[in-house]
Structure 1
């Protein structure tokens, strides 16, 4: 089963939330309507700024665990490597 690791942010260099899912198209709207993470809702981290696809959900879960241990600056660097302006990536998915 495919899995995704993703980062949501409140704004550029704002609060960062890291999650994992098997369906990114379902999960991000859940965050937006308040049925996702309480942390993300409380801190306004609702903008998809980075994601990574894995062919095996177990790999995605392992990657999420690793990313959560990263220093904040490493997370910022990872986001800015592919999304320097912290643009909302949902537009790229056609939503």
Structure 2
């Protein structure tokens, strides 16, 4: 499935949000070697990390397909998606 540029931007935003969640949990819980995490904390962090990785993997596949479909360099599509994803949703 080749996504539109707008869909790619939404995918990027979702991946960014998932990364932010994983980062926030890691910061909140502290380094696991310094302060051991509970099983619940570990499970929550690992779920957030998997979500981020899965979203990012799917995004990368779609960016590659979009670039092939439109005959553009992948790096250009990725840069455009990243730039638009940083803009507020109503401005994108």
What is the TM-score of this pair, normalised by structure 2? 0.27
> Relative contact order (alpha carbons < 8 A, sep ≥ 6): 1 or 2 greater?
2
Kindly indicate which of the two structures has a greater share of residues assigned to strand. 1
What is the TM-score of this pair, normalised by structure 1? 0.26
